[in-house]
């Protein structure tokens, strides 16, 4: 009997989905073997996953957590931010980058991106937002393309700011030869299914500091001084609760999945790079569309393929035609400062984000994933050409209209 998989359902809906996971029989067997051990919470697989991940991203410590958002919350706690403090984050990011700072009571201040060709925050756009109350900065490596980290690191050192990297798009990525996630005091990763490495739900905090690693481990598990795994192994009996913590733990089942994914991360990032280059090579010269970042960006992880239409008014007809042709698309991202909970907070006035607004009004994300085959690539190329033609038709907004 053949089972219906999510992939079958997606294929029925989409000829080419936006993303897909590289899940193999060996992954499923590893998960089943873990279930058979009957030890499902923190244990040897978590330890192996943390150690392998730390080595992979050049970090001294890696702490597995329940998702990327809890990783960010722990990072902001490590930064010791709270009411009265300001935290600078991009608005061009997934909302969790900002929300996790709000959990601490700190005020979120949005920095613009450098340009539509390099839509990440920079030392210049961060410096514009620094005030005497600024205590931390969180950068986000959009699409897996590194922010220019040397000047950002220098700015943070000079001003005494705690530097966090939201590296959810960038496991295995580098900037200037140094792994993304290892530039700041704390780096955060997400293993959600659309990310370059997935455990279902899951995340990782990395740090080079022994002291921060100890505190993050405490907060991850209720602020308790011992884990049930240590007690199970006879290493400890009682425990104390020394700080206010959470239950942000990952489990053995997910760690088993992550270990297989981690072993294939480098190869899968290369496959993403190759498919991205094929798509950009075929579409880069088309009228009405362009692509941010250089086509071959050393160290990038090619998490998504963002494209930029010439006019904001073209986006809806363009995406509608892609959908009719069976090609899934998305928008990364609606800018966070435009969401109601951020609009209603004081402090956004006088902080214009013109580049973010322009970019997010014209951006469309095209399919990109490591298991994409030559047929998928040509389907996307043909569909984009047709959708560009459709978005130019006179029923849409006239050309030259201000976008």
Ligand X SMILES: *Cc1c(COP(=O)(O)O)cnc(C)c1O
| The token pair that represents 38 in the structure block | 């009957």
- Choices 117-125, 166-174, 259-267, 334-342 (CB under 6 A): range interacting with ligand X: 166-174
Cβ atoms 156, 138 nearer than 8 A: no
**Site map for ligand X, 76-95, x if CB under 6 A?**
-----------------xx-
- Choices 33-41, 125-133, 161-169, 239-247 (CB under 6 A): range interacting with ligand X: 161-169
Residues 254-283 interacting with ligand X (rule: CB under 6 A): none
Verify binding: residue 147, ligand X, rule CB under 6 A.
no
Verify binding: residue 192, ligand X, rule CB under 6 A.
yes
Q: Which of 15, 107, 195, 233 is catalytic?
A: 195
Residue 65 CB, shortest distance to ligand X, in Å, is 9
Q: How far is 168 from 68, CA to CA, in rounded Å?
A: 7
The residue among 306 and 313 lying less far from ligand X, judged by its C-beta, is 306
The residue among 50 and 383 lying less far from ligand X, judged by its C-beta, is 50
Q: Which residue is nearest to ligand X (CB)?
A: 68
107 part of the active site: no
Task: Out of 19, 42, 91, 97, point to the residue binding ligand X (CB under 6 A).
Answer: 97
Verify binding: residue 169, ligand X, rule CB under 6 A.
yes
Verify binding: residue 181, ligand X, rule CB under 6 A.
no
The residue among 138 and 259 lying less far from ligand X, judged by its C-beta, is 138
Q: Which single residue is written with the structure tokens 């730390």?
A: 54
The residue among 140 and 390 lying less far from ligand X, judged by its C-beta, is 140
Verify binding: residue 198, ligand X, rule CB under 6 A.
no
Instruction: Give the β-pairing of 61-65 and 203-207.
Output: antiparallel
Cβ neighbours, 10 Å, residue 253: 18
132 class by beta-carbon count within 10 Å (0-12 exposed, 13-18 middle, 19+ buried)? exposed
**Site map for ligand X, 51-70, x if CB under 6 A?**
----------------xxx-
CA distances from 388 to 62, 281, 287 (A): 44, 16, 8
Residue 90 CB, shortest distance to ligand X, in Å, is 9
Residue 132 CB, shortest distance to ligand X, in Å, is 28
Q: In this structure, what is the dihedral angle of CA atoms 198, 79, 137, 50, given to the nearest 10 degrees?
A: -20
Verify binding: residue 43, ligand X, rule CB under 6 A.
no
Residue 397 CB, shortest distance to ligand X, in Å, is 31
Residue 80's nearest CA partner among 220, 225, 158, 185 is 185
Residue 96 CB, shortest distance to ligand X, in Å, is 4
Verify binding: residue 140, ligand X, rule CB under 6 A.
yes
Instruction: Give the β-pairing of 186-190 and 178-179.
Output: unpaired
Catalytic (active-site) positions: 195
Q: Which residues bind ligand X (CB under 6 A)?
A: 67-69, 93-94, 96-97, 140, 166, 168-169, 190, 192, 203
């Amino acid at each position: 009997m053949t089972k219906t998989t999510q992939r079958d359902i997606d294929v029925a809906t989409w000829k080419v989905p936006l993303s897909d996971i590289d899940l193999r029989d060996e992954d499923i067997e590893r998960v089943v073997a873990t279930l058979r051990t009957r030890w499902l919470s923190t244990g040897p697989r978590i330890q192996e996953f943390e150690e392998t991940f730390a080595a992979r991203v050049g970090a001294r410590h890696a702490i597995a957590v329940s998702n990327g958002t809890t990783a960010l919350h722990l990072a902001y706690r490590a930064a010791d931010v709270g009411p009265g403090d300001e935290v600078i984050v991009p608005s061009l990011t997934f909302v969790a980058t900002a929300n996790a700072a709000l959990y601490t009571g700190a005020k979120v201040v949005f920095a613009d991106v450098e340009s539509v060709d390099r839509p990440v925050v920079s030392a210049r756009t961060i410096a514009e937002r620094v005030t005497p109350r600024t205590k931390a900065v969180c950068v986000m490596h959009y699409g897996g393309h590194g922010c220019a980290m040397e000047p950002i690191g220098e700015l943070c050192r000079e001003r005494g700011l705690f530097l966090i990297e939201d590296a959810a798009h960038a496991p295995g990525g580098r900037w200037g030869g140094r792994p993304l996630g290892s530039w700041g005091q704390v780096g955060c990763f997400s293993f959600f299914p659309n990310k370059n490495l997935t455990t279902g739900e899951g995340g990782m905090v990395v740090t080079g500091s022994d002291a921060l690693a100890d505190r993050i481990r405490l907060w991850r598990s209720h602020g308790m001084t011992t884990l049930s795994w240590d007690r199970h192994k006879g290493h400890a009996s009682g425990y104390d609760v020394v700080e206010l913590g959470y239950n942000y733990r990952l489990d053995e089942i997910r760690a088993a999945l992550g270990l297989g994914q981690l072993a294939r991360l480098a190869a899968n990032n290369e496959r993403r790079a190759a498919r991205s280059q094929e798509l950009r090579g075929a579409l880069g010269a088309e009228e009405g569309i362009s692509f941010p970042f250089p086509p071959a960006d050393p160290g990038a992880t090619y998490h998504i393929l963002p494209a930029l239409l010439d006019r904001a008014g073209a986006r809806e007809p363009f995406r509608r035609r892609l959908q009719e042709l069976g090609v899934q698309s998305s928008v990364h991202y609606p800018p966070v400062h435009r969401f109601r909970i951020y609009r209603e907070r004081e402090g956004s006035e006088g902080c214009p984000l013109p580049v973010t607004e322009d970019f997010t009004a014209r951006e469309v994300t095209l399919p990109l994933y490591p298991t994409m085959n030559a047929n998928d690539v040509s389907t996307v190329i043909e569909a984009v050409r047709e959708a560009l033609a459709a978005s130019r038709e006179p029923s849409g907004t006239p050309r030259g209209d201000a976008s």
